[in-house]
Chain A
Amino acid sequence: MEITELNEKIKQESAFIDTLFAEIGKTIIGQKEMVERLVIGLLSNGHILLEGVPGLAKTLAIKTLAQSMQAKFQRIQFTPDLLPADLLGTMIYNQKDGNFSIKKGPIFSNFILADEINRAPAKVQSALLESMQERQVTIGSSTFPLEEPFLVLATQNPIEQEGTYPLPEAQVDRFMLKVKIDYPSRDEEQKIMKLNIGASLPEIKPVVSPESILNARKLIHTIYVDEKIEKYILDIVFATRNPKEFGLEDLQDLISYGGSPRATINLALGARAMAFVKRRGYVIPEDVRSICMDVLRHRIAVTYEAEAEDITSENIIQRILNTVEVP
């Protein structure tokens, strides 16, 4: 397909994005980046780890997204006594007929909000992360595919770390994006206040069907990624592993380990989805840069030296982005 033709097709097919953002914007004031990342995760078939203090409309955002798509939504509050069966489902004994029947868990929905994922023990986290990866759940001897589209938005509270079970690095890597959200601006907060002290929140109408999302996913695979962009993505990821080779000698001792090949894949996928959101048929360096922080921040481990100097993975990514030459 010619690029002009592809560009035109993407423009047409991605028209629902603006409608979707507008519908979500009825109840979610500000937090544009979070909403954009939610859509990118949805379009790239990835999952999102969200970090932010309570009360920043995380639940409302995903609930609104589900409503605007006429999709099933479930919120699961992760607690220390949660069991994998509470999440996935279990076999229930029926006294009447003396048989076991399968009771599916809340994971069988399109949108899952795994609230405070680090409050549940490792076995529950593993159950969720495995389902996220395999997109199927086995209860007893039966295996069930999960709903499509399937998006998990897990939240972590950056404060109150006591009594939590931090996600292991290998499992954090399974989240396509780790999004950090901050407080809204003063103007935004005023709008939020006005909206919430009213009689009721605006009604969210379904503006996109889950099928449109699945079609968009197929279309995203046709978005053109030039070799120069591929090289740029590789340069960024390799700079997290061998900063010395990119003239960042001072970062060598600050990085314990850099981005995995999964980081490269997700950066490319995210950049493609970003191009779709921006209604373009090709990826530009801007797309890579805008998604880079969210793809890499949880995939780079800093050393004790870095921690002692208060240097975070975000500082490292910023340095890399400021050093790696843009094509």
Chain B
Amino acid sequence: MIKKYITVLIILAAGFLNAQSIEVYADTDTTEYVVGDYIHYRLELRYTNDIKVELPSVIDSISMLEFINEEPAVVRKNDNETFELREFVFSKYDSAEVSIPGYSVKYYAGNEADANIINVNPVTILVRTIEVDPSGDIQDVKAPIKIELNWLLFSVIALLLIALILAAYILYQRYKNKRQIVVKEKKIIKVPAYRIALEELDELDSKKLWQQGFVKEYHSELTGIIRKYFESRFNFPALELTSAEILANLGISDADEQVKIATNEFLSNADMVKFAKFKPMPSVNEEMMKQAYDIIDKTKQDDEVKVESVEVQSVQ
């Protein structure tokens, strides 16, 4: 009778133990890899629902491999049991036989405060290098990628281009037909430089600057008019040149010798007034004006009507 009770108790205890079960299993997608390949390391856990599992850091536990990434965890639960799948991607860049060591997983059964431990099995893999034939030619690591020609896309682009060229041609023809070119010669009467200069001299004279005490201003304006006149008449930038440079430019122009001498005297006298506080006699001021008129008179060119530009007009 006692034996019967003991047997029943053993059966009950075994049933109880069987009710709180946990299994762990680690594996890789294959056992042989080439250096640089992705090693998919899978950890499967199957445990009853009254068990709480505390996973260690798998990445830290597998330090001999280079961690690439971790796939999202797959957890399936039914009334009694939970199935958990963890997948980690590693790689290795050296050839070797690698033994991924086993490690411990803590779990708590029911309301137990103390943790139990279950060990994950070690996995051995072989990482080998690419075999190189030293007698062969140097080859690409990977063959060039061949992109398949998308005939449909190619045809659409070709058609669009043809349509665009046709449209441009039609538009150009329309524009060409509409456009009637009328060439007009625009005659511009260019006022000769000497006339402008003479007018300016007249104006300066009428201002009576030196008579009012503005001697320096008078000489500055006077030389300014002559320099501007030289610029138009002899085509050199007299306004940006010094007196000596103006005389040098005048020296190679068609101006006659008398004009060159007169200009030298004219500019030198004006420079004295402009830059040396020299106060000339009234007669000198008058003489300067006369000299200016004289220089213009001796270098002036006749009036002429010049065809300044040819205007092209389009009529719609």
Q: Which residues of A contact B244 (CB under 8 A)?
A: 286
- Find chain A residues with CB under 8 A from B242 CB: 284-286, 289, 326
From the candidates A228, A321, A322, A324, name the one contacting B275 in the complex (CB within 8 A): A228
Beta-carbon contact of B277 and A226 below 8 Å: yes
**Residue from A4, A229, A285, A289 within 8 A of B278 (CB atoms):** A4
Decide if B275 touches A7 in the complex (CB within 8 Å): no
Q: Given A285-B242, A286-B243, decide whether A7 and B276 contact each other with a Cβ distance below 8 A.
A: yes
Query: Contacts A322-B237, A327-B220 known; A284 to B278 CB distance under 8 Å?
Result: no
Complex interface bits, A311-327 against B, C-beta within 8 A gives 1, otherwise 0: 00000000001111111
Measured CB to CB, the closest approach of chain A to B7, in angstroms, equals 99
B276 neighbours in A (Cβ, 8 Å)? 3, 7, 224, 226, 280-282
Give the chain B neighbours of A280 by CB distance below 8 A.
Answer: 276
B274→A226 contact, CB < 8 A: yes
A88 contacts chain B at the CB level, 8 A cutoff: no
**Contacting pair B241 A3 (CB below 8 A):** no
Closest residue of A by beta carbon distance from B244: A286
Report whether A326 and B241 are in contact in the complex, using a CB–CB cutoff of 8 Å. Answer: yes
- Assembled-state Cα–Cα distance A7/B278 (Å): 11
Q: Is A283 an interface residue when CB atoms closer than 8 A count as contact?
A: yes
- Distance in Å from the Cβ of B242 to the closest Cβ of chain A? 4
Inside 8 A of A284's CB, which chain B residues have their CB? 242-243, 271, 275
**CB distance B237 to A282 under 8 Å?**
no
B-contact bits for A229-259, CB 8 A (1 contact / 0 none): 1000000000000000000000000000000
* A residues less than 8 Å from B245 (CB atoms): 286, 289
Contacts of B35 on A, CB cut-off 8 Å?
Answer: none
Q: How large is the interface on A (under 10, 10 to 19, 20 to 34, 35 or more residues)?
A: 20 to 34
Asked if residues A325 and B277 are in contact (CB atoms below 8 Å), the reply is no
Total contacting residues, chain B, CB less than 8 A: 16
In the assembled complex, the CB of B149 is this many whole angstroms from the nearest CB of chain A, namely 43
Tell me how far the C-beta of A324 lies from the nearest C-beta in chain B, rounded to whole angstroms. 7
B239 at interface, CB cutoff 8 A: yes
Within 263-316 of B, Cβ neighbours of A (below 8 Å) are at 271-272, 274-278
A323 pairs with B240, CB closer than 8 A: yes
* Residue of A322, A323, A327 with most chain B CB atoms under a 10 A cut-off: A327
A97 to B239, CA, bound (A): 73
Q: How far is the CA of A228 from the CA of B148 in the complex (A)?
A: 78
Residues of B within 8 A of A321 (CB): 240
CB-CB nearest in chain A for B237: A322
Q: What string of 1s and 0s marks CB contacts (under 8 Å) between A151-186 and chain B? A: 000000000000000000000000000000000000
- Would you call A228 and B274 a contact (CB within 8 A)? yes
Question: B240 contacts A3, CB within 8 Å?
Answer: no
CA–CA, A286 to B246, complex, Å? 11
Q: How far is the CA of A124 from the CA of B213 in the complex (A)?
A: 58
Known: A224-B276, A282-B277. A324 touches B240 (CB 8 A): yes
Q: Which residues of A contact B239 (CB under 8 A)?
A: 325-326
1/0 contact string of A274-292 vs chain B (CB within 8 Å): 0000001111111001000
- B240–A326 touching, CB < 8 Å: yes
Q: A325-B240, A326-B242 are in contact. Are A226 and B278 (CB under 8 A)?
A: no
- Which residues of A lie under 8 Å from residue B243 when comparing CB positions? 284-286
**Nearest-CB distance from B80 to chain A (Å)?**
78
Q: Given A284-B243, A285-B242, A286-B244, A327–B274 Cβ distance below 8 Å?
A: yes
Q: Do A229 and B275 touch (CB < 8 A)?
A: yes
CB distance from B279 to the nearest CB of A (A): 9
List of B residues within 8 angstroms of A224 by Cβ: 275-277
A316 smallest CB distance to B (angstroms): 15
Are the CB atoms of B220 and A3 closer together than 8 Å?
no
- Distance of A284 Cα from B242 Cα, bound (Å): 9
A289 to B237, CA, bound (A): 15
Residues from chain B with Cβ under 8 Å of A228 in the complex: 220, 274-275
10 contacts between A and B (CB under 8 A): A224-B275, A224-B276, A226-B275, A284-B243, A284-B271, A285-B243, A321-B240, A322-B240, A323-B240, A326-B241
**A interface residues (Cβ-Cβ under 8 A, vs B):** 3-4, 7, 224, 226, 228-229, 280-286, 289, 321-327
Contacts A226-B276, A326-B242 known; list 13 others, CB within 8 Å: A4-B278, A226-B275, A226-B277, A228-B220, A280-B276, A282-B272, A283-B275, A285-B275, A286-B243, A286-B245, A289-B245, A322-B237, A322-B240
Lowest 4 A-B CB distances belong to which pairs? A282-B276, A286-B242, A285-B242, A226-B275
